[in-house]
Structure 1
Amino acid sequence: MAKIKHTNTYDVVDHIFTAAKEKGIMHINSEEQSFNGEKFTIKGRELVNFGTCGYLGLEKHPKILAKSHELLDKYGSHFSISRTFIKAPYLEELENLVSRIFDNRPVIIYTSTSVAHQSIIGTIVESNDLIILDQQVHYSVQYPSQFAKLQGTMVKMIRHNNMEMLEDFIKRGYNQYNKIWYMADGVYSMYGDLPHKKELLYLLEKYPKLHLYFDDAHGVGWTGNKGCGTVFGSFKYNERVVLISTLAKGFGSIGGIAIFNDKEMYRKINIYGGVLAYTHPLSPANVGAAIGSAEILLSDEIDEYQNELKELIKYLNIKLAEFNLTNTSSEETPIYFIGTGSAKVTHNLIQKVLADGFYVNTATYPVVPNDKTGLRFTLTRHNTKKDIDQLVSSINKNFHLAVEEENEDLEKIYKVFNIPFKGKLIEKIIEEKNVFVEKYKSISEIEPCLWDRFFSDKGNYSYNGLKCIEEIFSNNDKVEENWSFHYVIIKDKDGNVVLATFFTGAIYKDDMLSHTNVSRQIEEERKHNPYYLCSQTLAMGCLFTEGTHLYIDAEHVLVNQALNSFFVEVEKIKNETNSKVVILRDFQSDFKFQQVFENEGYVRVSMPNTNIVSLPKWNTKDELLSFLSSKNSINNIKRYVFKYEDQYDISIKKTLTDAEAEKHYQLFTNIKKANYAFNFFSYPNKIAKILSQYEDWEFIEFRIKDSEELIGCIWHFVGKNHSCPLVVGLNYDYVKSHHLYKQVMYYMVKRGNDLGKSKTYLGITSDYEKQKYAAVSMPTFAYIRIQDTYNSEIINSYSNM
């Protein structure tokens, strides 16, 4: 099985967050010596707080502090024993008070909301149940749901708030599963929008197997009767509803809470509750603060506090509407999201707002798609109308400045977030007087010498190489085998090329670079739905090429203008091809324009290593071995390659008959079917036949001596100064018995040497085997922009199955 280096999601996020930290907009250290919720001190400056979630501003309420001190004095710093053995009396008091907020429903208090989810999902969801996650349900819900897969529970995900999709999943699984759990937020923490309660009540009544599981962490306290939140009032009479929330936001304390309509479910969790049985309770001081808060919520004070916040919400909504900002949030919640599109505008805007003295949050990939980033802020009772006036004024002024400074298209930003644009347009300026863009749909429209000047010895995408590729991937029956081709050449006024590249538009499997076990599971789904988790994709290069697809004259005085024009053209081609994903590849770690690409909203991800052999010319096997430094490699080659070489007949052909081309294709599909490490749609079955018609290609064939059976092949592109054995085909019956793959690998290297080529491009996968021949495995990167993260989130969910 071929192995490659896969993209690590955590590495991608690390890179994004580190870049934001370096710009001073994330992972900021506060410096204040005391905190009352109103302001942060950051780098010696006071910033008005529009970023925390203490919506009612209760953190330093005298009653809460007094109760916290009281329990601290009575019980000390900690009650160090699991509630399974002994439950502290103050914890019982808190649960009784919280129960009164929720119409005397049974309640369990946890150390955090995340622990609550782990406990409850792990206990009440069974192996014959189905979990359906909303796409934007909080990570603390998604995480334990993935672990439920380990016991056999099926987990699916719907697009955010898509009730039609939810009902479809319910119908399809209704006779297969015992219970169906739909898990959603009461208030979604990024966009501040709400679930469709009316539709969910309808589905709850229509389908008796349906159970609802809400995380209302951002709803409890600031709204609802006695602070019961956004969803309890609508669903409190149905036993098939579980509500989880937190004491850490509107409650002004810390800890998680679980509210049950089903008494037996409560009993089951309370008696054991998985992780609940193995965690210590909240500290006395924390519980005291929560008791003080619960007493406030049960008093008349809560109405006053809620009304004050809702008046501020109403006022803020009016101010935002006056400026027609890209606010995507619900008018009912204190969470706001101002869409800015690309990362460069987002970072610029937030830096300016911070400089004006207001702390706000950064919303970036992977929480939101990387072309739908934005500024997020929250509203609390600490804020005043004056604060609101100044914040909105700052956002409005700096939003337009950021768009202008980053040379972005203002109208496009509004379109991205589906918000009508009513203001004056600030169009993206491109100085076309200095650089000129040429676009073509076929390589035949370009002068061969012009193209080959930059790409003739980079891989198999020379002028003639691309003529061949265009013929292969056109006029086929299957949609995935037909690619559109787009060539972009940018010149200065004297005709000098500043930038050149080509793109293909095609349907890609979104799990192309996922781990083998993930793709194998997804392929099971594709037996019934062949385009499951696939997207129309615009990619630099294509799936039949590898190498440096982008030429940039980095020293040209107009290189920045050329790059601006390049990104404009990419956007046009993306729209023309209706692509949902854009991939710019392949780049090495020293790529000079990394920041430019990331500012345009692209996320850098790791690609498989590329392997290149550039040994001196060798004439004998001993001479080859003398160039290798690894004793293990030398011994391996002697033992598994040279020892079996005389059992093979090796032939090289420039052309194939139709029957031979068909046999070559069958050997290629053997590898394609066995290899999920690099998962893409198979090439058209005419491919070997077409390659045979082009003089740049040759075919190396492997047979056992005195046998006519073709058991291995290499499709080999021969460049002027390089060798590119691009495709391998194998009969797996001979891989172990005759070490066929090792023999093929040797001849990939040997043929380049025999032809006197300075480099042999061995491509991706099987790094270890290629390194035996002194191949240098070079890390490569791509820059990706995804319009919708739904497919990628589904793919990530497969990783724990």
Structure 2
Amino acid sequence: MARRTQAMDSLPLDELTAAIRRNGLVRFLEQYEKSHPDLHLKDLSVEALDDDRGMWVNGRRVVNFGSDSFLGLDRHPRILAALRRGVEKWGAHNGTSRAFSSVEANVEAEAKLARWLGVEDTLIYPSVTLTNLGAIPALVGRQDLVLCDQLGHHSLQEGMRLAQAAGAKTGLFPHADPEKLRLALDEAGPYRLALVCVDGIYSMSGTVPPLAELDRVCRERRAILYVDDAHAMGVHGPRGRGTALAHIPDPSNTLVVGSLSKAFSCFGGFISCSRELKKILKMRSSSFVFGGPVPPAYLEAVCEACDIMESVEFMRLSGLLARNIRLLVEGLAERGINCLGGGTPIVTVLVGDEEDALRAGKTLFDLGYYVQSVTFPAVEYHRAVLRLQVNSNHRESDVQGLAESVASALGKLHEKKRAA
């Protein structure tokens, strides 16, 4: 009886939690956090924000260079007014699956996105992740193949795994390499059609892959190019329409996924499609059917954001963003610091050692700048980076101050190593 009571004291949920904590990755991350408590800048509690990217943490203002609201639309009066109108018209939420009904704002937002992009139609999901988890397995069958860039976003690879579970053949190919993609397609064996998944801008490096060459290989090998353009939508190419539409001469064999929560500063994700394919995705895409809708107020804001994208206001905002990117990249270069990317709002400084990246991030935080220290497993081991995200509403003085402070933080690390 005593043994039975002791066993019952340990609930299955407690046992499950303990077992998961023994997992190698969880153990590694917990140990890392424990051994660097003074450097760990995750799970921050943000108390307030301001129009110049100020962020209050523990009663102290720092300049936030970790936001992907690249155009500053999260503080834009037209977007805020659209949200208020949307709440007054629709309430907080419409609370029904889009398999049954869609509010008019949803229909209008999809039509406006399609017009802005110059595509036949679009389909909105609750997020980019749910777009990829739903669309990728819905687009292929057992006779098909899905290949993903080995550095592709986690949600692309998870969508590929769902397709694999449904019977499709899958695999990874070397990062941004058209010739290796051709080889991977040739070695995959017979398939009906292939879906090749890549990012438009890689979120940890800010780099753009050779999309025109990848598209050419896809056309030669009966494949469709699927581009997750979340970090490019609204900021890259003519009218901010993203990398795929900017770099692929004829995008008729390309599916483009965009974010509504980054440059648009709203909520959700979407995929470009034909009207026929849209009907199929509505039937076959489980995250669309079961994922719930985007709240209507945000759809009203998406419509307003599309209007901004086609107005002179977009030219003003994108001009400010381009100026700030240039200021930061040139400011770093003047101080002998090379960065990955450089032409996108994600400016990445390679540090290498994990502890060095964390320490540099903490030094910058103490100097009044929040940036993201990205370490394994988000990037390869010993390829840790400082991820600097530039917005249009960063002040020039803050951008210049960040460049100077990055140089100071990295200089301190080098001095410490020389002294050792």
| TM-score between the two structures when normalised by the length of structure 2 | 0.90
Q: Which amino acid aligns with 1:394?
A: S
Give 3-state SS (helix, strand or coil) of 1:31's partner.
strand
- Superposition map of 1:92-491 within 5 A: 92-173=107-188, 175-207=189-221, 209-235=222-248, 237-260=250-273, 262-327=274-339, 329-405=340-416, 407=417, 427=418, 429=420
In the alignment, the residues of structure 2 paired with residue 105 and residue 35 of structure 1 have an alpha-carbon distance, to the nearest angstrom, of 38
Pair 1:297–1:195, CA change in 2 (3 A): same
- Opposite residue 64 of structure 2, the aligned amino acid is N
Residue from 41, 56, 59 that aligns with 1:41? 56
Distance (whole Å) between structure 1 residues aligned to residue 249 and residue 68 of structure 2 = 25
Residue 46 of structure 2 corresponds to: 30
Letter in 1 for 2:27: D
User: 1:178 and 1:428, CA in 2 relative to 1: closer, same or farther beyond 3 A?
Assistant: farther
- When you count helix as a share of all residues, which structure comes out higher? 2
Aligned-residue offset at 1:35: 4.0
Q: Is the 8 A contact 2:63 2:368 kept in 1?
A: yes
> 3-state DSSP class of the match of 1:231?
helix
- Say if 1:55 and 1:250, in contact at 8 Å, map to a contact too: yes
C-alpha deviations, 1:153-175, integer Å up to 9, x for none? 222112221222111101222x5
Counterpart amino acid of residue 309 in structure 1:
L
Mapped to 1, the partners of 2:316 and 2:97 lie a distance apart of 38
Counterpart contact for 1:192–1:337, Cα < 8 Å: yes
CA distance in 2, matches of 1:249, 1:213: 19
Deviation at 1:103, TM superposition (A): 0.6
Q: How far apart, CA to CA, are the structure 2 residues paired with 1:346 and 1:331?
A: 19
On the 8 A contact 1:26/1:362 being kept in 2, the answer is: no
Secondary structure of 1:248's aligned partner: coil
Q: 3-state SS of the aligned residue for 2:165?
A: helix
Partner Cα distance (1:95, 1:19) in 2: 48
**Residues 274 and 7 of structure 1, relative CA distance in 2, 3 Å threshold:** closer
Q: CA deviation digits over 1:736-777, x for unaligned, max 9?
A: xxxxxxxxxxxxxxxxxxxxxxxxxxxxxxxxxxxxxxxxxx
Cα offset, 1:222, TM superposition: 1.5
* Match of residue 15 from structure 2: none
**Rounded Cα–Cα distance in structure 2 between residues aligned with 1:271 and 1:156:** 26
Q: Specify which of 5, 25, 39 is matched with residue 9 of structure 1.
A: 25
| C-alpha distance 16-130 of structure 1, shift in aligned 2 (>3 A) | farther
1: CA distance, partners of 2:310 / 2:359? 44
SS in 1 for 2:163: helix
Q: List structure 1 runs of 4+ shifted beyond 6 angstroms.
A: none
- Superposed CA RMSD: 2.0
CA contact (8 A) 1:122 1:274 kept: no
Gaps of 5+ in 1: 408-426, 430-801
Name the CA shift for 1:78/1:62 in 2 (closer, same or farther; >3 Å).
Answer: same
AA in 2 matched with 1:298: E
Q: 2-side partners of 1:8 and 1:221: how far apart? A: 39
Between the aligned partners of 2:101 and 2:213, the Cα distance in structure 1 is 43
> Which position in structure 2 is the counterpart of 1:679?
none
Answer whether contact 1:326 1:340 (CA < 8 A) is retained. no
How far apart, CA to CA, are the structure 2 residues paired with 1:16 and 1:285? 41
SS in 2 for 1:285: helix
Are the counterparts in 2 of residues 17 and 26 from structure 1 also a CA contact under 8 Å?
no
Unaligned runs of 5+ in 2: 1-19
Specify the code of the residue in structure 2 equivalent to 1:52.
Answer: S
1:244 & 1:159 partners in 2: Cα distance? Answer: 21
Rounded Cα–Cα distance in structure 1 between residues aligned with 2:282 and 2:216: 30
Matches within 5 A, 1:68-107: 68-107=83-122
Counterpart CA distance in 2 for 1:122 and 1:352 is: 44
How far the C-alpha of 1:272 sits from its partner, in A, is: 4.4
Aligned-pair CA distance for 1:240: 2.7
For 2:112 and 2:34, the matched residues in 1 are separated by: 43
Aligned CA distance change for structure 1 residues 164 and 18 (closer, same or farther; 3 Å): farther
Compared with structure 1, are the counterparts of its residues 212 and 37 closer, same or farther at alpha carbon in structure 2 (3 Å cutoff)? farther
Question: For 1:539-578, what aligned pairs fall within 5 Å after superposition?
Answer: none
Whole-angstrom CA distance in 2 between matches of 1:190 and 1:369: 11
Residues 13 and 366, structure 1, Cα contact 8 Å, conserved in 2? no
Find the counterpart in structure 1 of residue 10 from structure 2. none
The alpha-carbon distance between structure 1 residues 292 and 340, as it changes in their structure 2 partners (threshold 3 A), is same
Distance 2:72 2:308 in 1: 12
Q: Tell me: CA distance 1:20–1:183, structure 2 relative to 1, closer, same or farther (3 Å).
A: farther
The 3 A distance-change label for structure 1 pair 347 and 272 is closer
- Displacement of 1:19 in angstroms is 5.0
Identity across aligned pairs (percent)? 24
Q: Which amino acid aligns with 2:207?
A: D
Task: State the alpha-carbon separation in 1 of the partners of residues 354 and 290 from structure 2.
Answer: 42
Deviations 1:503-542 (Å, cap 9, x if unpaired)?
Answer: xxxxxxxxxxxxxxxxxxxxxxxxxxxxxxxxxxxxxxxx
2:16 maps to which residue? none
Report the CA distance shift for 1:232/1:21 in structure 2 as closer, same or farther (over 3 A).
Answer: farther
Change (3 A) 1:230 1:283: same
- Asked if structure 2 preserves the Cα contact closer than 8 Å seen for 1:131 and 1:155, the reply is yes
2:41 aligned partner, one-letter code: I
Contact 1:53-1:250 at 8 Å conserved across structures: yes
Cα separation, 1, equivalents of 2:202 and 2:333: 21
Per the alignment, do residues 133 and 18 of structure 1 end up closer, same or farther by CA in structure 2, a change over 3 Å counting? farther
Please give the alpha-carbon distance, in whole angstroms, between the structure 2 residues aligned to 1:360 and 1:147.
33
Cα deviation code 1:105-127 (max 9, x no counterpart) = 21011111111111101211212
Map of 1:520 onto structure 2: none
Report the Cα distance in structure 2 between the residues aligned to 1:217 and 1:69, rounded to whole angstroms.
26
Q: What displacement does 1:104 show?
A: 3.9
Residues 196 and 428 of structure 1, relative CA distance in 2, 3 Å threshold: farther
Distance in 1, Cα, partners of 2:373 & 2:327: 23
Larger radius of gyration: 1
Given the alignment of the two structures, is residue 52 of structure 1 paired with residue 67 of structure 2, yes or no? yes
**How big is the shift at 1:37?**
5.6
Does the 8 Å contact 1:20/1:26 carry over to 2?
A: no
SS at match of 1:190: coil
**Using a 3 Å threshold, how does the CA distance of structure 1 residues 237 and 123 change in structure 2: closer, same or farther?**
same
